[in-house]
């Protein structure tokens, strides 16, 4: 009887551990808005690349650069058509993603771009959060503040 009670206690304890934050953490993993500005004809490539880093929500907007005509002529560039990609990224995947983006910006022909991350200060809705995190349940992390 006592052994059974102990087994039940262990089972409950394991269940509790799964549904509560890991040791040393106090909040879910944060999300950041990644703003990536690239040439229009490379947008699809970068959207697919970013999507592979647990990114479930992105939208892109056509845009144009503000370089003056004389500078474009000097550099031999034809146009200033750009695409701005807005992506919601988990902060624990951000460093890796930005490292890869940096490599791609440097190595792909006509693939130069700029990427910046802006932190979310708040959001509402557990289901929305788990969707944006690409997780089955809220993600608790040791780097959360």
Q: Which residues bind other proteins (CB under 8 A)?
A: 32, 35, 37, 61-67, 82, 84, 94-95, 98-99, 101-102, 105, 112-119
Distance CA 28, CA 133 (A): 10
Q: Compare residues 15 and 112 and give the one whose CB is closer to other proteins.
A: 112
The single residue listed with the structure tokens 């146009």 is 79
Shortest CB 79 distance to other proteins, Å: 13
Q: What is the CA radius of gyration of the chain?
A: 22
Phi-psi region at 117: left, alpha or beta (left = phi > 0; alpha = psi -120 to 50): beta
Shortest CB 75 distance to other proteins, Å: 12
Q: Compare residues 48 and 95 and give the one whose CB is closer to other proteins.
A: 95
Shortest CB 43 distance to other proteins, Å: 13
Task: Encode burial over 63-101: b for 16+ CB neighbours within 10 A, e otherwise.
Answer: eeeeeeeeeeeeeeeeebebbebebbbbbbbbeebbeeb
Shortest CB 117 distance to other proteins, Å: 5
Q: Compare residues 78 and 136 and give the one whose CB is closer to other proteins.
A: 78
Q: Compare residues 84 and 144 and give the one whose CB is closer to other proteins.
A: 84
């Amino acid at each position: 009887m006592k052994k059974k009670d102990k087994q039940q206690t262990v089972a409950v304890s394991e269940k509790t551990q799964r549904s509560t934050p890991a040791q040393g953490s106090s909040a879910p993993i944060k999300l950041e808005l990644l703003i990536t500005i690239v040439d229009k004809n490379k947008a699809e490539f970068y959207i697919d690349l970013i999507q592979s880093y647990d990114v479930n929500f992105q939208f892109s907007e056509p845009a144009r650069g503000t370089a003056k005509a004389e500078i474009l002529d000097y550099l031999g560039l034809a146009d200033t058509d750009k695409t701005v990609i807005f992506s919601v990224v988990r902060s624990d995947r951000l460093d890796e993603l930005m490292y890869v983006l940096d490599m791609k910006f440097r190595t792909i022909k006509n693939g130069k771009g700029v990427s910046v991350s802006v932190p979310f200060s708040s959001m509402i809705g557990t289901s929305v959060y788990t969707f944006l995190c690409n997780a089955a349940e809220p993600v608790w992390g040791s780097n959360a503040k």
